[in-house]
Chains A and B, each alone.
Chain A
Amino acid sequence: EEEQEAEEQERFSSQQRLKAAVHYTVGCLCQEVAADKEMQFSKQTIAAISEITFRQCGKELAHAKRSTINTEDVKLLARRSNSLLKYITEKNEELAQLNQERKVKKKKKPEDGNQTCREPAEAEGGEAES
């Protein structure tokens, strides 16, 4: 039982750390908008945007039944707005191209073969993080 409690505690504090990281990033982004638009944000507003962003994250991806989430799943999240979907689709193509270029560059370097079981195609562009 004690172990379970410790685990719960651990989960809670790691969630708090993630929230803090989101809050930090949201703060930076709001600062950029504030400078651009010459308008200030209250601290509560930034905290509120952070909380919403935190909840927004993975609210739909969580239901994905697949074992690997790919860019098509992310594109589905952007389907509610045409302009957003268009932007995200373009961004996706941009990323794919960038990764392709990086792959070509890497191939020129001699491989030292210590990455055994990974296919080269997977090791680059689609490096899956668990």
Chain B
Amino acid sequence: MERASAGFRKELVSRLLHLHFRDDRTKVSGDALQLMAELLRIFVVEAAVRGVRQAQAEDMALVDVDQLEKVLPQLLLDF
């Protein structure tokens, strides 16, 4: 999978995860960070694509929060 696409940096993912850990000593393996970064990327792209689909269905030229709101419940059930 060679793709020069944007994505979450490992360091950022690590910091984000540590924000939520109760125990500061909790560690995350490098592989897990990379996988988590990929999961987050998919989540964002999925949110965006579903928003686009909703906007297209409503014949809108722009994805606005109204469209996002409509696809959000199912998105959060899927992730």
Footprint of B on A, CB under 8 Å? Answer: 15, 18, 21-22, 25-26, 28-34, 37, 39-42, 44-45, 48-49, 52-54, 56-59, 61-62, 64, 66-71, 73-75, 77-78, 80-81, 84, 87-88, 91-92, 94-96, 99, 125-130
Contact = CB atoms under 8 A, between A and B. Distances in A.
Contact of A52 (B21, B27, B41, B47): B47
Given A29-B6, A44-B65, A78-B39, 10 more contacts: A25-B44, A32-B6, A33-B49, A56-B40, A62-B21, A69-B27, A74-B32, A95-B34, A127-B29, A129-B33
Q: Secondary structure of the A side of the interface?
A: helix
Nearest to B23: A67
B76 to A, nearest CB: 8
Contact of B55 (A39, A48, A80, A125): A39
A57 B61 contact: no
Q: Is the interface of B mostly helix, strand, loop or mixed?
A: helix
Counting contact residues on chain B (CB < 8 A from A), the size range is 35 or more
A80 B13 CA distance: 21
Contacts of A22: 8, 12, 16
Interface string B28-61: 1111111110111111110111011001100001
Contact of B64 (A28, A34, A44): A44
Interface of B: 1, 5-17, 19-36, 38-45, 47-49, 51-52, 55-56, 61-65, 67-68, 72, 76-79
A80 B76 CA distance: 10
Nearest to A27: B6
A37 B52 contact: yes
A75 B29 CA distance: 13
A130 B27 contact: yes
B27 A129 contact: yes
